[in-house]
Amino acid sequence: MNVEQAEILKQFFHQVAELASDTLAAFVEKEEKQVSIAAGHNRAAQPERELLNKQQLAKRLKISPRTISSLQSDGLPVVKIRTRTLFDYEKVLLWIEMDEIKSGQKTKLRVVK
C-alpha cells in the first residue's frame, strides 16, 4: 500500500466514524422520543433543562473556564439567549461521550453527576 492509498483509507475511516456518530445520535434521539411518548409525556410536559453558565459548568466538570472556552471552539454545544451563552448540562455530557467515541480515547474530564 502506498502513501496515497493509505491517506484515502484514512479519510474513508474518518468519514465512517463521523457517519456512525451522527447515526448513533439520531438513534438515541428517536428512542428518547419513543420512550417519552410511551410514558405519556408530551412536549409541554418535558422536564426543565439544566442550563449552566461557563463558571458553573467549569465547576461541575472540575476544569477551568478557559478550558470551557477551548472546548467551545471544538464544538461544545451552547444555548444562546440574547447575549448570554449557557450550557445544557445533559447535552454537554452527551457531547463529551460522543467525542470519546469519535476519538477512541477516554477524555481527561471528570464528569460529576
User: Which residues 6+ apart lie within 8 Å of 50 measured at CB?
Assistant: 88, 89, 90
pLDDT (tens digit per residue) in 29-88: 777 777 666 666 555 555 678 999 999 999 999 999 999 999 999 899 999 999 999 999
pTM of the predicted structure, to 2 decimals? 0.53
Task: Return the pLDDT at 46.
Answer: 58
Cell reading at 71 = 472546548
Rounded to 5 degrees, φ, ψ at 81 are: -125, 105
Residue 11 pLDDT > 60: yes
**Integer CA distances (angstroms), 19 to 58, 99, 106, in order:** 30, 13, 20
